[in-house]
């Protein structure tokens, strides 16, 4: 009788494979966001969500005594909708906007293309590793 050996992998490695495997990863070949995708996120439902996030970020920046430089990082930019709204709303706070270094952490080249198309008129840095974040 042949014995079945099960290979156990840690959850983080399973999730990484399921989402970002070059051939089969969920985020690597399709846009799962929006009404035509697999699910809808809050930024796709209403601009209010992203506007409120921006107001909170501005308030926190003020609490920090308005540093001259601050990184605003979107961890997994999805279809770029939230960062698009954050950028548009931040323009209403000019001194805050001037201090911002906007960054999207995105590992999917497919989603990066969607984000770059949506955010073509904004200065954003894309990274695929957190080690690439520089102090501003």
Residue (of 85, 73, 105, 101) closest to 41 by Cα position:
85
pLDDT digits (tens, 9 = 90+) for 19-78: 888 888 888 888 788 778 788 888 888 999 999 999 999 999 999 999 999 999 999 899
How many angstroms separate the CA atoms of 65 and 62, rounded?
A: 5
pLDDT digits (tens, 9 = 90+) for 120-136: 999 999 998 888 787 54
Helices (runs of H) and strands (runs of E) counted in the chain: 6, 3
pLDDT value of position 136:
47
Radius of gyration (C-alpha) of the chain in whole angstroms: 18
pTM: 0.82
Distances (CA, A) of 59 to 53, 63, 86: 10, 6, 14
């Amino acid at each position: 009788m042949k014995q079945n050996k099960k290979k156990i992998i840690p959850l983080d490695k399973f999730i990484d494979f399921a989402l970002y495997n070059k051939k089969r990863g969920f985020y690597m070949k399709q846009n799962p966001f929006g009404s035509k995708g697999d699910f809808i996120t809050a930024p796709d439902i209403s601009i209010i969500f992203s506007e409120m996030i921006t107001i909170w970020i501005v308030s926190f920046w003020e609490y920090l005594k308005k540093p001259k430089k601050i990184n605003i990082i979107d961890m997994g930019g999805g279809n770029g909708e939230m960062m698009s709204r954050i950028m548009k709303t931040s323009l209403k706070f000019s001194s805050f906007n001037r201090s911002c270094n906007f960054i999207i952490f995105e590992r999917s080249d497919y989603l990066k293309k969607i984000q770059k198309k949506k955010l073509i008129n904004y200065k954003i840095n894309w990274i695929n590793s957190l080690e690439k974040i520089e102090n501003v």
